[in-house]
Amino acid sequence: MPIATRAFAAVAADKPLEPFSFTRRDPLPDDVVIDIQYCGVCHSDLHMARSETGPAHYPLAPGHEIAGVVAAVGADVTRFKVGDRVGVGCMVDSCRECSSCQAGEEQYCIPGFTGTYGAKDRFAEQSGQPITQGGYSDHITVDQHFVLSIPDALPLDAAAPLLCAGITTWSPLKEWNVGPGSRVAVIGLGGLGHMAVKLAHALGAEVTVLSTSDRKKADAERMGAKHFLINKDKAAMKAAAESFDLIINTVSATHEIADHVQLLARDGTMVMLGLTTEGLPVYALPLLWRRRRVAGSLIGGIRETQEMLDFCAEHGIACDIETIAPDQINEAYERMERSDVRYRFVIDMAKLPQAA
Residue-wise pLDDT tens digits, 160-195? 999 999 999 999 999 999 999 999 999 999 999 999
The pLDDT, as a whole number, for residue 1 is: 74
In a domain, 130, yes or no: yes
Q: What pLDDT does residue 356 have?
A: 47
Are residues 7 and 155 both part of a single domain? yes
**Judgement on whether residues 108 and 204 belong to the same structural domain of the protein:** no
149 pLDDT higher than 60: yes
What integer pLDDT is reported at residue 275 of this predicted model? 76
Helix, strand, coil % over all residues of the chain, rounded to 5: 30, 30, 45
> Do residue 28 and residue 92 come from a single domain?
yes
Model pLDDT for residues 270-319, shown as the tens digit of each residue: 999 987 777 888 899 999 999 999 999 999 999 999 999 999 999 999 99
In-domain check, residue 54:
yes
How far is residue 271 CA from its own chain's centroid?
A: 15
Lowest mean pLDDT among 149-153, 159-163, 349-353: 349-353
Judge if 253 and 143 occupy the same domain. no
335 contacts 329 by C-beta, under 8 angstroms: no
From CA 11, how far away is CA 15, in angstroms rounded? 7
Query: What are the start-end ranges of the H helices in the chain?
Result: 43-49, 99-102, 124-127, 156-159, 165-175, 191-202, 217-223, 234-239, 258-261, 284-290, 302-315, 329-337
Cβ neighbour number for residue 91 with a 10 Å cutoff: 26
Q: CB count, 10 Å around CB of 140?
A: 29
The predicted structure's pLDDT at residue 6: 96
From the number of C-beta atoms within 10 Å of its C-beta (0-12, 13-18, 19+), residue 50 rates as middle
- pLDDT for 355 equals 60
Mean of pLDDT values over 67-93:
98
Q: Give the residue numbers spanning the domain of 261.
A: 166-296
Residue 20 lies in a domain: yes
Give the domain CATH number at 130.
3.90.180.10
Q: Is the peptide bond before 281 cis (omega within 30 degrees of 0)?
A: no
Handedness of CA 50, 53, 56, 62 (dihedral sign): negative
> pTM here?
0.94
Average pLDDT over residues 117-123: 94
312 domain-assigned = no
Instruction: Evaluate whether residue 305 is within a structural domain.
Output: no
Percent of the chain with pLDDT over 70: 99
22 in the same domain as 150: yes
**CATH number of the structural domain spanning residue 186:** 3.40.50.720
Does 148 lie in the same domain as 198? no
pLDDT digits (tens, 9 = 90+) for 6-56: 999 999 999 999 999 999 999 999 999 999 999 999 999 999 999 988 888
Question: Tell me, what's the pLDDT at 4?
Answer: 93
pLDDT averaged over every residue in the chain: 95
| Residue whose C-alpha is closest to residue 158's, from 314, 312, 352 | 312
The total of structural domains in the chain comes to: 2
